[in-house]
Structure 1
Amino acid sequence: MDLPVMPPVKPMLAKPVKKIPPGMQYEAKWDGFRAIAFRDGDELELGSRTGKPLTRYFPELVAALRERLPERCVLDGEIVIAKDGRLDFDALTERIHPAASRVATLAERTPASFVAFDLLALADEALLDTPMADRRALLVQALSGVTAPVHVAPATTDPDVAHVWFEQFEGAGLDGVIAKPLDLRYRQNERLMFKIKHERTADCVVAGYRFHKSGPIVGSLLLGLYDDGGALQHVGVCAAFSMKRRAELIEELEPLRMRSAAGHPWSSWTDETAHETARMPGAPSRWTGKKDLSWVPLRPERVCEVAYDHMENGQRFRHTAAFRRWRPDRIPESCTYAQLEQPVRHALDDVLGDTG
């Protein structure tokens, strides 16, 4: 492979802001694996956000990209998998599997797509110093007439349209809106774009914690919600505390600390075999294969309000939640899934139908 921009490339990033800024190009924020696609004739590689190769995990996508991309190019985009008309991040993470046979089975059962939103090189020309608006025009031209499973991400310079996308596209499993300055040059691993994500709040039961890696202070609080059957389900963690606050939480939570997990709603976590069939804290990471079963059980008697962006399969927070406040006015049993706002469904095909 001999391209004007060579792997590994660490993609340009976005910093969070509260509102959609004016005077920019706007795109949907895709909920998948960020990937840089490198094609040089028959050679094709997919690089992850960290620079590690993703090529072996998406054989069907490699074949499709080799067919549909320009002969020599470097594209920034997102690998996604859709089920029932919306993005399915769980199906995507299942691809990170050591067995080639399993990857091949999943490639046939749940084929992936590639959504391109930036062009870093074309033929013999590197475009890293080309303004974003010009790169976008070249991208649309280079992929004119491209067919699924390769798509050009829809884009607009109209902030009113961006606001509509922000409200509607979540129903198709998307994650918010990205805003890009029109004169922006491509700078690897720098947060020069802006991301506007959905944020909601929920009252959750605090049923345990993990220690911080630096010592015997709180690293993260384990959060739960009651399901329709009255069982307390683990929904995620909140972890953004100052070091001082982490130490204070140890003292605050000490009266709730249980001597063992016996009788706790999540007592099965102490059984390694339980982690083979259920996704719960301590289960092996799909990325590292390592697991940590250590946690401190608390009597599930305290409630806190947390902010979150969206739910994964309606069951758990996709990302780490942000602690907002304690809720002494709420009883744990009132913390159910019923309080969670569900986005109105929106067909993914409608999102991809307009490339701008």
Structure 2
Amino acid sequence: MSLPVMPPVKPMLAKSVKKIPPGMQYEAKWDGFRAIVHRDGPEIVIGSRTGKPLTRYFPELVAGLLAELPPRCVIDGEIVVAQDGRLDFERLSERIHPADSRIALLANRTPASFVAFDLLALEDLALFDVPLEQRRKALRDVLEGAGPPVHLAPATTDPQVAQLWFERFEGAGLDGVMAKPLTLPYRPDARLMYKIKHERTADCVVAGYRLHKTAGDAVGSLLLGLYDAEGVLQHAGACSAFTMQRRRELVGELAPLRLDSPADHPWAAWEDQSAHETNRLPGSQNRWSGGKDKSWVALAPERVAEVAYDHMQGTRFRHTTQFRRWRPDRDPASCRYDQLEEPVGYDLSEVLGGVL
């Protein structure tokens, strides 16, 4: 492979802001794997955000990229998997598997797509110093006529359209809006773009915690639960943004709730892999954990915390939540999924203007 921009390349990043800033290019924020694709003739390298290759995990995408991309180019984008008209991050995550046979099965069952949103090189020309507005035009030109699994990310310079996308696209599994200055050059690993994400609050049962990975006398993360329609407490996510002093205080604060035996805890079967098929439980030791200690401290499910979250992925919080406050006024049994705000359903194919 001989390109003006060679792998690995770390993608340009974004910092969070509360409101959509004026005077920029706006795009939907995709919920997938960030990826930079290098193509040089028959050679394809799909690089991850960390620079490690993803190529072997997406054989069907390699074939599609060879068919739809220019012969020599470097393109920044997002790998996504769609199911029933919306993005499905869990199915996407299943693709990172050590067995080629499993990858091949999933490639056929839930094929991935690539949503392109920036052009970093074309033929022998590196475009890092070219303003975004010109890179976008060039990307639109080179992808004219391209078909699935390659899609050009919709973009606009109208902040009212961006606001509409922010309000509507979440139902298709997207989790916000990106804002990019029109004169912006491409700077790998620099936070020069802006992301605007949804934030909501939910009251959750604190049913356990994991110890901090380096400080054994401090809380690493609180384990959050929500009751489903059948009254079963499901593990919905975690909350971990605390100072070290507060982490140590939490160990003492939660001590009265610690269970000597977790046998009667709603998540007592967490180490039984078959139990995960019917209920959402804290993760146990498996091929994904890489030897990390997955044990946790069981608490009587009697304390309620209000947390902020931005996006749901099925029955769990897509990202780590932010602790807001304790809610001693709330009954843990009232912490149900039906309190969560549900976005209006939206067909992902309408977002991209075609079938995904």
* Paired residues for 1:1-356 under 5 Å: 1-215=1-215, 216-271=217-272, 274=275, 280-284=281-285, 289-313=290-314, 315-353=315-353
Moved more, 252-261 or 336-345: 252-261
- State the 1:172 CA deviation: 0.7
Counterparts of 1:290 and 1:110, CA distance in 2:
28
Contact 1:270–1:293 (8 Å) recurs in 2: no
The AA in structure 2 aligned to 1:296 is V
Moved more, 188-197 or 291-300: 291-300
Counterparts of 1:98 and 1:151, CA distance in 2:
28
The AA in structure 1 aligned to 2:231 is G
Give TM-score, length-normalised by structure 1: 0.96
Could you say if the C-alpha distance between residues 196 and 104 of structure 1 is closer, same or farther in structure 2, counting changes exceeding 3 Å? same
- State the 1:283 CA deviation: 3.0
Q: Deviations over 1:222-255 (max 9, x none)?
A: 1001111111111011000011111111111111
- State the 1:269 CA deviation: 2.1
- State the 1:284 CA deviation: 4.5
Counterparts of 2:46 and 2:115, CA distance in 1:
13
5+ unaligned residues in a row in structure 1: which ranges? Answer: none
Counterparts of 2:156 and 2:177, CA distance in 1:
11
- State the 1:280 CA deviation: 3.5
Moved more, 22-31 or 277-286: 277-286
Counterparts of 2:180 and 2:323, CA distance in 1:
29
The AA in structure 2 aligned to 1:36 is I
Counterparts of 1:325 and 1:2, CA distance in 2:
54
Contact 1:275–1:283 (8 Å) recurs in 2: no
- Give the number of equivalent residue pairs: 353
Q: CA RMSD in A?
A: 1.6
Q: Deviations over 1:288-347 (max 9, x none)?
A: 54353311111111101000111111x111110000000011010010011011110111
- State the 1:286 CA deviation: 6.2
Q: Deviations over 1:256-309 (max 9, x none)?
A: 111121211111125566568866433356655435331111111110100011
Give TM-score, length-normalised by structure 2: 0.96
Contact 1:235–1:316 (8 Å) recurs in 2: yes
5+ unaligned residues in a row in structure 2: which ranges? Answer: none
Contact 2:80–2:113 (8 Å) recurs in 1: yes
Contact 2:284–2:295 (8 Å) recurs in 1: no
Counterparts of 1:351 and 1:271, CA distance in 2:
40
Counterparts of 1:124 and 1:309, CA distance in 2:
41
Counterparts of 2:276 and 2:19, CA distance in 1:
40
The AA in structure 2 aligned to 1:306 is V
Contact 2:271–2:285 (8 Å) recurs in 1: no
The AA in structure 2 aligned to 1:120 is L
Contact 1:269–1:293 (8 Å) recurs in 2: no
